[in-house]
Amino acid sequence: MMNLVETADVAKAYGDFVALDGVTLSVREGELVSIVGPNGAGKTTLVNVLTGMLAPTRGIVRFKGNDIAGIGPVRLAEHGMARAFQLVHIFPALSVAETIAIAVVSRTGKAFRFFGSVRGDDAVMQRVREVAAIFGLEGKLDSEARLLSQGEKKLLDIASAFALAPEVILLDEPTSGVSSADKHGIMRTLIDAARRGGVKAIILVEHDMDLVAEYSSRIVALQAGKVLADRPPAAFFSDPALINAVVGKMPAQRH
């Protein structure tokens, strides 16, 4: 399988502070790669570099062989890579349909002065309904986003990213703030949606190690801005010293 996303010797410094130091990694077609590490390890900086929001101080960032360093999320989405951006928190008074429509419209390149005109566009609304149905939100299209449950808000954020029809999607803590009972349901929903929607790979930043163990193809562990390990789950979780360095505890066993 080809590398969809790759970095080579990526560094990012803020003055004397080095947030990333020589990070080399790849994400291949068919993979779900989790990025883990303690607070301050460099996860957020790496995500911002991978999604073109930050240009690295040194190194190469490529998507499908093209240099994407610092190009920004809008141009990156045009190339086929999207990131969930928590639009619910930015536009809480918008309906579910309007929130998804923002992404659909940006993907088509159309411009609307008012959201009412979105409702009048049959092609846009058809795509909105399709995306909503994938995430079980078809019955909530007219509901204000702020009135959804926390789990539904997370699904709406992810649905908006899926509406961009990406080949690779980056999810930053998609289950944070969601009850433990709902977390696996959200993960199963988004993985099924990815499969149905033509997404070729998922990059997941997640602190819940139960989810990381359950769904990852590979786990990239960061510590102090460096790659501490890049391993499949079985090899990762069989190393107690590594687990202690990254998270301090083993995930619980699911039955």
- Looking up residue 13, the CATH number of its domain turns out to be 3.40.50.300
Along the 255 residues of the chain, how does pLDDT read in single tens digits?
Answer: 679 999 999 999 999 999 999 999 999 999 999 999 998 899 999 999 998 889 999 999 999 999 999 998 888 888 899 988 766 777 888 999 999 988 888 766 554 544 555 566 788 889 999 999 999 999 999 999 999 998 899 899 999 999 888 999 999 888 888 888 889 999 999 899 888 888 999 999 998 999 999 999 999 999 999 999 999 999 999 999 898 888 755 555 544
Same-domain check for residues 60 and 24 = yes
- Answer whether 199's CB lies under 8 Å from 167's CB: yes
In SS3 terms, 99-164 reads as HHHHHHHHHHCCCCCCHHHHHCCHHHHHHHHHHHHHCCCHHHCCCEHHHCCHHHHHHHHHHHHHCC
pLDDT at 105: 81
Considering the domain architecture, whether residues 97 and 42 belong to the same structural domain is answered as no
Q: Which residues contact 89 (CB under 8 A, 6 or more apart)?
A: none
Tell me: do 10 and 134 sit in the same domain.
no
Residue 59, domain member (yes or no) = yes
Asked whether residue 183 is assigned to any structural domain, the reply reads: no
Domain count, the chain: 2
Tally of helices (H runs) and strands (E runs) in the chain: 11, 10
Instruction: Kindly state whether residue 28 falls inside one of the protein's structural domains.
Output: yes
- Residues 32 and 217: beta-carbon distance below 8 Å: yes
Q: Distance between CA 187 and CA 201 in Å, rounded?
A: 14
Full domain range(s) for residue 32: 1-77+168-177+199-255
In a domain, 188, yes or no: no
Q: Is residue 185 part of a domain?
A: no
d(CA 238, CA 28): 23
Q: DSSP assignment, residue 61?
A: E
Shared domain check, 156 and 103: yes
Same domain, 65 and 95: no
User: Is there a single domain that holds both residue 67 and residue 102?
Assistant: no
Same domain, 24 and 142: no
Kindly state whether residues 2 and 72 are assigned to the same domain: yes
Kindly state whether residue 193 falls inside one of the protein's structural domains.
no
pTM of the model: 0.88
pLDDT at position 71 is: 92
Task: Tell me the C-alpha distance between 86 and 155, whole Å.
Answer: 10
Pair 86, 37 in one domain: no
Last residue of a domain, one of 140, 165, 190: 165
Q: Which residue has the tokens 């990333």?
A: 20
173 and 71 in a single domain? The answer is yes
pLDDT at residue 42, rounded to an integer: 94
Do 156 and 130 fall within a single domain?
A: yes
Whether residue 138 lies inside any domain: the answer is: yes
Q: Which candidate, 222, 193, 188, 189, places its Cα nearest to that of 205?
A: 222
131 and 56 housed in the same domain = no
pLDDT at 113: 47
**pLDDT (0 to 100) of residue 116:** 52
Q: Distance (Å, rounded) from C-alpha 185 to C-alpha 188? A: 5
Kindly state whether residue 192 falls inside one of the protein's structural domains: no
Residue ending a domain, choose from 116, 142, 165: 165
